[in-house]
Structure 1
Amino acid sequence: MNRARAKSRDLGDDGEPDSGVPRPSDVLPGLDEDQLRVLRQVGRRWGRVSPRSAAAVRALPVEPDTGVFPAAEDIRPTRFGRLVHVTSLGAPSPAGGVGGAPGPVGARWVRGARRALLGAPLRSSAVARESMRKLVALPVLSADALSSVAYGPEAMLSVLVLAGAAGLAYSLPIAGAITLLILVVGLSYRQTIRAYPHGGGSYIVAGDNLGLLPGLLAAGGLLIDYVLTVAVSIASGIAAVTSAVPSLAPATVPLGLAMIALLLVGNLRGIRQAGILFAAPTYAFIAAMFALITGSLADAAANGFPPAPAAHPNATEGLGVLLVMRAFASGATAMTGIEAISNAVPAFQPVRWRNARTTLTWMTGLLVTMFAGIIAIVHLRGVVPRGGETVLSQLARLTFGSGPMYVFVQAATAAVLLLAANTAYNDFPRVLFLLARDGHAPRIFLRQGDRLAFSNGIGLLSVVAALVYVAFSGETNSLIPLYAVGVFLAFSLSQAGMVVHWRRVRTPHWRKSLAFNATGAVLSTLVLITAAVTKFTAGAWVALVAIGLFFLLATRIRRHYQTVGAALRLHPGAAEPPAHRAPTPPPTPAPSPPEPEGGRTDRHTEDAGDTGDTEDIEDTEGEEDTEGEEGAEGEQGAEGEQGEGGEGGEEGEEAEGEETPQAVHHLSVVALATLDLAGLRALAYAASLQQPTLAVHISPGEEEAQRFRDYWTLWGNHVPLHIVLSPYRAIVAPLIHYIETLHHQRPGLTITVILPEVVTPRLRHRPLHSKDAARLRRALRPLPKIVITSVPFHTP
């Protein structure tokens, strides 16, 4: 992993990370010294056949500077949200905007149903900084860890009961060992927050300190962990419901699938509020557990704390070391989710790392108290696991009867388990984003949809979790053996990475920090080995095989991207200028750009959200391109296909009069992400058309924008360049908006959008590459006089 990339973050005024939202700038490649030398040579050859830059600018029939959006520092979120509204760019869109055309009846029905379910695209919106107070961050980020007491103690007891009463006698010593492990790992992650104040997930920590292989193994463990978090949490939540309403037990699988579908829809809608909506279930569960523990202890105190005689289950296995170790590994699943706070440090209010450490301490204290309390009252009440009713349900019935408090305990348990499943929907797509950023996952996982959600990652998590849930019939005890392996693999590699980190940096008190992390690494590794050995035949092999397959797939994807990167790399003789000198036609008067709202004219900042054009962005995000996705796709049916969605009136009459070449007025817009061979080939193709040409680059930040300007100047600035600064959302949406704005400047102008496109010879590699041409074609189809052309670059 690139260490510099892993550590690069936006900093706020306090010198801390400004946001936990992944940045698109992390994926835009740079050029090394050899490539810069070739770029300079290519630019000299271009200079022999291209007009001077000033003449090319005067020849443009439009004004490239189309208005601005407020700067990022001028945007403030609302009190209870993280979405803010910004002013529009240039002229307002017509009613409905791009993507608002009626289209075929079937498409309208699909679009209407989708929007009714998921909501309309978020227009005029940007992702702003979200800062959570500790009292809000605690329930939001701790739901996964705290909810695990609903199934962790029961998982341990379900193993011990196999040895009968002799096995149950080991419940207290094993619980004490698990409690110690929770404390040690909690303290270890406090050191991780100190070392990685920008957020240190297992993938980043292991990859940064141990290398590529451990980083990918940690990522595989995390992904397995998140999938099983959804499956186990849903299974436990449904078990809480069926314990209270036994008649629903036959519908366990359909109910679980319905809950996964509900989570899918809710997360695809994308709007998340860090407030009471998320805090309430966790705080309700904490209150329910403390009420249950206090009530049970009060009853026991009234009788002098005599432990109730437990039922005498028949032993089906002999009591041995392996059974005790298996029980320990099962009970240790109560630690799942303990690293969530270390991942989300940037989401805290300043001072972020200090508030995160405080919140982690609170979470660890609550988890230890609740876990130990549940084990204690299980021992005092003599409760043992049994089919059809959870241990928590039995304890609540014994303490509160079947009255309102029992219903409250069961409802709070089900609610927090569903919230814990939702936590995985936040983290799973983020890990996929980081993997895709580093070239280990398909780049479709870099994209955010028009509801500001990583829709592809959310969809993948839902499908895989549903398959796992159905395969194990929604049985929590059957899923637990799979759970421990991924969790503790990530824990072990993260803590081992921190040991290497402290040995390397040797900051003040580094020996104490190293001792904590080393202890956490040793204990986590012991649990990992125990789970892998003792639960191998019970299902742990599935997790191990899944992690191995993930590693193989990730390395193959990385190898393909490296091959493509080598093919695209600038090298002498590979990039040729256009064969003919481009003409310098007389300048065409262009209308003055509309005055931007807010009066800002010093920055060219364009937002990906304020467009009516995002209607179809997410629709095509995860789809296969079935309209000629590879090669020179011939997306040049500007008038035949797009005219039917035109605006009518004058434009329609003008379009009908363009039967001769002299009546067509052109502008070529070349969209570039970087100046590689594919980009230079697209520029050469545009120049060979001998029409006015404008290059457009979408930049997610000022630093990256300046880097591209420097490359452009080194090349020779042979084509006018406009950089759209879009620090909020995506890359494609602001390009669509910019083209729409140019169209409104000159409705009679035919704009040809030229895109470089990578074409792979193997079908299996095609999903790994962008479908921007197809997405642009769909989104811009309602506008007349827009032509989308891709220039193919064939790779080995």
Structure 2
Amino acid sequence: MGRRGKRDADAAPSEKPTVTFSPLAEFPPLREDELAVLRQVGQRWADALHDRPADWDELPLDPTLERYRHPPAPSRFGRLARIDMFKADEPRQLLATEATILPRGRLAQSLARFRRGVLGPPLASTAVLQERMRKLVALPVLSSDLLSSVAYGPEAMLAILVLAGGGALGLSLPLTGVLVLLMIIVGASYRQTVYAYPHGAGSYLVASDSLGPRFGLVAAAGLILDYVLTVSVSVAAGIGAITSALPGLAPLTVPLGLLAIAALLAGNLRGVRVAGNLFAAPTYLFIVVMLVLLLVGFAQAAGRGFTALPPPPITAVEGLSVLVVLRAFASGATSMTGIEAVSDAVPVFRPVEWRNARTTLTWMVGILVVLFAGLTLLIHLSGVVPHDGQTLLSQVARQTFRTGPWYGLVQASTAMILLLAANTAFNDFPRLLFFMARDDYAPRRFLHMGDRLAFGNGIVALSVAAALIFLTFGGRTQALIPLYAVGVFLAFTLSQTGMVAHWRAHRGRNWKRRAAINGLGAVLCAIVLVTAAATKFGEGAWVTVLAIPLVVLLAMRIRRHYDRMHLALALRPPSVPARAAGQPAEPGGTRDRSVGADDQESEESPQDVRHLVVVPVARLNLAALRALAYAASLGPPVFAVHLSPEQEEADRFREEWQTWGDHLRLETIISPYRAITAPLVQYLDSLHTLRPDVVLTVVVPELMVKRPWHRILHTPIDQRLRRALRSLPGVVITSVPVHLAD
């Protein structure tokens, strides 16, 4: 094998199924065992329908719309004719046009047009591949969180050291060296993650795959808190940069922050590619401006022989100790948040996905190391110290650019990158919920892709949670940072530990070297995790420590619900009811049910269903007669039930029933306490208890009003019945609408 062939073989990742974010995730195919059971159920249908009439499957209209050569009259959708909303695609298949998603009503249509103007027109599912990003777009989109942390990471570290007095500030340089080493090791570790999981895998998938589902949930909980806090901290820091340059805006911190979150929400709902194009320029501007700041600042320092300017006198609040140093280290480590964004988002890259992701990750870590180390050194040489009212970066920029527009450019670019740093969370948080929902640990609505091919439900959930936290803490960055490090480094630790287990299980070329890199990353991340949890527990980290197990418990409860749902809805081999063998069903509903004996809803083929239609009738008007006609069209057995407050009214109603012709059996219930819904519900419940094998179909007339406020003028009997009877298996509520003109 030649040298190039050897290099390509070594670079090729392990073969794993490709995971793409597509609408198909909401509709998983049936397994082979489910298909086998489905064939058995289908055979029972064939047995039940073998003697059906020849015209049994004929329909009164053509569902393919082929017969309608001329467009029908406009419908309630306005000028759009119903036929124009669909077009023939394949035999017995129609293709819905964009017009079908327009809602009814003028107000709803106006809101839909406004939404389309803000978010853009809907995208077809086939456009999902076009929404992928190239490296030049992916770098700013996925690195904005990581790179923006240099604006507050060094300050967070120095804010702890300054408590021990001015002499302790010199420790920032060795701490920066350790943090740079940690960044490089963790970055190399995540390169290994992208290599091992080319289909995309963050801490949740790696920990679940290698350590078990429980560890995966713990990592996911840490990441969920990390992403929510990423938005809150980034927006708080961005607004802080604005108020540092314009102190008059300080009272508007909270409204400005909420407005920024709303803008990020709208931008990301427009789709991945559009959001990337919108937010790419500010990230590149920040990188360029920071490099210019470092070059000019170091040039000025070189003019004085790189002698550090003395900081202002600082009174020590507490003595210098190992605890203070560890707290400063943990605070500075928050600059690494967002480093795993690439491993989460591998599927959004253009092919070859994993190779482009690794290249982007390398550039991200390299830029982070240069900016973090350079800015910390420049802060040390400039002699500035943290104080309220102005960020360290603002002080350095004022000292470096004494005249000209550069100071304003530094603050503007910093504010933009900090505000847009939340965009990384907007990219990764919905994908994390996608993977969790796919495993049934999160609501399945997070699998849904919106009309712009974005995971809108996850984006909205992140926006609401971040806005609540931002509002609760009043937009103060330092108050939020103690909550920050625990969750993210917990996820880092579990991810790197899971990678060690992965290499040991799969082995392969150079697996020991790869495991060593991930093992070192796991140890260093664990040190930061323990340090942050111990030293910042009283400052607010206890909230994260408490929230993580609560999120895990919630996810497990969700999984338990879905497990029960899958068990209840799973296809089962058909059983043979007693009456199918020529035996009458026993009172009380006993019958042969070999599978799911405690489940009273096993009707999977026509011969399994025996139903009884019940029509509640208050008075014999048009609505009642329509409901009775519909019920009779379903076929026997059918009967009506009337609730009366007094015997006199019951007798009168029976006379009216006889006048109508007594075409159906009538049962009357006297309700001396004048209640209507409750006795009716109890009566239907009693019928169901007597024969749980009989499906009760309750046909209720429903008045459909044109004005929303007209609803309060009518009693919604059908809705009350649904709420009261929805817990009973084998009870169906059917509404027969009667539309009022106005």
With a CA cutoff of 8 Å and minimum separation of 6, indicate the structure with the bigger relative contact order.
1
Question: Which residue in 1 is equivalent to 2:49?
Answer: 50
CA drift at 1:265: 2.5
Which amino acid in structure 2 is aligned with residue 28 of structure 1? P
- 1:102 and 2:129 correspond: no
Question: Which residue in 1 is equivalent to 2:133?
Answer: 132
Which amino acid in structure 2 is aligned with residue 42 of structure 1? V
Question: Which residue in 1 is equivalent to 2:212?
Answer: 211
Q: Describe the shift of the 1:308–1:565 C-alpha distance in structure 2 as closer, same or farther (beyond 3 A).
A: same
Question: Which residue in 2 is equivalent to 1:398?
Answer: 399
- 1:30 and 2:30 correspond: yes
Q: Secondary structure at the match of 1:170?
A: helix
- 1:433 and 2:418 correspond: no
CA drift at 1:344: 2.0
Which amino acid in structure 1 is aligned with residue 24 of structure 2? P
Partners of 1:95 and 1:419 in 2: how far apart?
32
Q: Contact (CA 8 Å) 1:282, 1:416: kept in 2 or not? A: yes
CA drift at 1:110: 4.9
Question: Which residue in 2 is equivalent to 1:479?
Answer: 480
Which amino acid in structure 1 is aligned with residue 28 of structure 2? L
Q: Secondary structure at the match of 1:521?
A: helix
TM-score (norm 2): 0.70
Q: Contact (CA 8 Å) 1:439, 1:558: kept in 2 or not? A: yes
Q: Secondary structure at the match of 1:193?
A: helix
Question: Which residue in 1 is equivalent to 2:295?
Answer: 294
Question: Which residue in 1 is equivalent to 2:366?
Answer: 365
Partners of 1:44 and 1:455 in 2: how far apart?
42
Q: Contact (CA 8 Å) 2:138, 2:360: kept in 1 or not? A: yes
Q: Secondary structure at the match of 1:507?
A: coil
Question: Which residue in 1 is equivalent to 2:462?
Answer: 461
Q: Describe the shift of the 1:518–1:96 C-alpha distance in structure 2 as closer, same or farther (beyond 3 A).
A: closer
Which amino acid in structure 2 is aligned with residue 326 of structure 1? R
Which amino acid in structure 2 is aligned with residue 158 of structure 1? A
Q: Contact (CA 8 Å) 1:132, 1:274: kept in 2 or not? A: no
CA drift at 1:132: 3.3
Q: Contact (CA 8 Å) 2:103, 2:109: kept in 1 or not? A: no
Which deviates more, 430-439 or 230-239?
430-439
Q: Contact (CA 8 Å) 1:19, 1:347: kept in 2 or not? A: no
Alignment map for 1:367-516 (pairs within 5 Å): 367-516=368-517
Question: Which residue in 2 is equivalent to 1:591?
Answer: none
CA drift at 1:112: 5.5
Structure 1: which 5+ runs fail to align? 1-13, 68-85, 583-631, 635-639, 642-656, 666-758, 766-772, 783-796
Q: Contact (CA 8 Å) 2:86, 2:95: kept in 1 or not? A: no
Partners of 1:308 and 1:223 in 2: how far apart?
42
CA drift at 1:300: 0.7
Partners of 2:202 and 2:171 in 1: how far apart?
34
Partners of 2:401 and 2:52 in 1: how far apart?
82
Q: Contact (CA 8 Å) 2:446, 2:457: kept in 1 or not? A: yes
Deviations 1:427-481 (A, max 9, x none): 1111112111111112222222333332222221111111111221111111111
Q: Secondary structure at the match of 1:373?
A: helix
Q: Contact (CA 8 Å) 1:17, 1:346: kept in 2 or not? A: no
CA drift at 1:659: 13
Which deviates more, 567-576 or 333-342?
567-576
Q: Describe the shift of the 1:120–1:527 C-alpha distance in structure 2 as closer, same or farther (beyond 3 A).
A: same
CA drift at 1:46: 2.2
Partners of 1:95 and 1:542 in 2: how far apart?
46
Partners of 1:462 and 1:430 in 2: how far apart?
15
Structure 2: which 5+ runs fail to align? 1-13, 67-84, 576-592, 594-601, 617-621, 635-721, 728-732
Deviations 1:131-190 (A, max 9, x none): 433333222221111111011101000111111123212111111111110010011111
Which amino acid in structure 1 is aligned with residue 550 of structure 2? L
Q: Contact (CA 8 Å) 1:193, 1:342: kept in 2 or not? A: yes
Question: Which residue in 1 is equivalent to 2:340?
Answer: 339
Q: Describe the shift of the 1:760–1:269 C-alpha distance in structure 2 as closer, same or farther (beyond 3 A).
A: farther
Question: Which residue in 1 is equivalent to 2:718?
Answer: none
Q: Secondary structure at the match of 2:307?
A: coil
Q: Describe the shift of the 1:212–1:99 C-alpha distance in structure 2 as closer, same or farther (beyond 3 A).
A: same
Q: Contact (CA 8 Å) 2:165, 2:316: kept in 1 or not? A: yes
Question: Which residue in 1 is equivalent to 2:261?
Answer: 260
Which amino acid in structure 1 is aligned with residue 58 of structure 2? A
Question: Which residue in 2 is equivalent to 1:596?
Answer: none
Q: Contact (CA 8 Å) 2:103, 2:112: kept in 1 or not? A: no
Deviations 1:523-551 (A, max 9, x none): 00110110000000101111111111111
Question: Which residue in 2 is equivalent to 1:706?
Answer: none
Question: Which residue in 2 is equivalent to 1:679?
Answer: none
Alignment map for 1:86-101 (pairs within 5 Å): 89=88, 97=100, 99-101=102-104
- 1:578 and 2:606 correspond: yes
Q: Identity percentage over the alignment?
A: 54
Q: Describe the shift of the 1:110–1:361 C-alpha distance in structure 2 as closer, same or farther (beyond 3 A).
A: closer
CA drift at 1:660: 8.5
CA drift at 1:420: 1.1
Alignment map for 1:271-286 (pairs within 5 Å): 272-273=273-274, 276-286=277-287
Q: Describe the shift of the 1:353–1:58 C-alpha distance in structure 2 as closer, same or farther (beyond 3 A).
A: same
Partners of 2:98 and 2:129 in 1: how far apart?
27
Question: Which residue in 2 is equivalent to 1:646?
Answer: none
Partners of 1:256 and 1:547 in 2: how far apart?
26
CA drift at 1:345: 2.0
Partners of 1:355 and 1:116 in 2: how far apart?
33
Which amino acid in structure 2 is aligned with residue 547 of structure 1? I
Partners of 1:444 and 1:452 in 2: how far apart?
14
Partners of 1:122 and 1:130 in 2: how far apart?
10
Which amino acid in structure 1 is aligned with residue 605 of structure 2? P
Question: Which residue in 2 is equivalent to 1:231?
Answer: 232
Q: Describe the shift of the 1:204–1:63 C-alpha distance in structure 2 as closer, same or farther (beyond 3 A).
A: farther
Q: Secondary structure at the match of 1:169?
A: helix
Question: Which residue in 2 is equivalent to 1:696?
Answer: none
Q: Describe the shift of the 1:182–1:94 C-alpha distance in structure 2 as closer, same or farther (beyond 3 A).
A: closer
Q: Contact (CA 8 Å) 2:309, 2:381: kept in 1 or not? A: yes
Q: Secondary structure at the match of 2:451?
A: coil
Q: Describe the shift of the 1:122–1:567 C-alpha distance in structure 2 as closer, same or farther (beyond 3 A).
A: same
CA drift at 1:19: 7.2
Between structure 1 and structure 2, the one with the greater Rg is 2
Which amino acid in structure 1 is aligned with residue 172 of structure 2? S
Question: Which residue in 2 is equivalent to 1:179?
Answer: 180
CA drift at 1:661: 7.9
Which deviates more, 251-260 or 22-31?
22-31
Alignment map for 1:632-651 (pairs within 5 Å): none
Which amino acid in structure 2 is aligned with residue 207 of structure 1? S
Q: Secondary structure at the match of 2:165?
A: helix
CA drift at 1:229: 0.6
Question: Which residue in 1 is equivalent to 2:676?
Answer: none
CA RMSD of aligned residues (A): 4.0
CA drift at 1:127: 2.2
Q: Contact (CA 8 Å) 1:164, 1:315: kept in 2 or not? A: yes
Q: Secondary structure at the match of 1:127?
A: helix
Partners of 1:526 and 1:145 in 2: how far apart?
20
Partners of 1:271 and 1:505 in 2: how far apart?
34
CA drift at 1:25: 3.5
Partners of 1:444 and 1:567 in 2: how far apart?
20
Partners of 2:264 and 2:561 in 1: how far apart?
34
Partners of 1:54 and 1:359 in 2: how far apart?
66
CA drift at 1:279: 2.2
Q: Secondary structure at the match of 2:273?
A: coil
Question: Which residue in 2 is equivalent to 1:355?
Answer: 356
Q: Contact (CA 8 Å) 1:166, 1:319: kept in 2 or not? A: no
CA drift at 1:92: 8.9
Partners of 2:120 and 2:425 in 1: how far apart?
22
Q: Contact (CA 8 Å) 2:296, 2:400: kept in 1 or not? A: yes
Q: Describe the shift of the 1:114–1:761 C-alpha distance in structure 2 as closer, same or farther (beyond 3 A).
A: same
Q: Secondary structure at the match of 1:305?
A: coil
- 1:21 and 2:49 correspond: no
Q: Contact (CA 8 Å) 2:158, 2:172: kept in 1 or not? A: yes
Which amino acid in structure 2 is aligned with residue 59 of structure 1? E
Question: Which residue in 1 is equivalent to 2:693?
Answer: none
Q: Contact (CA 8 Å) 1:396, 1:406: kept in 2 or not? A: yes
Please state which structure has a larger fraction of its residues in helix.
2
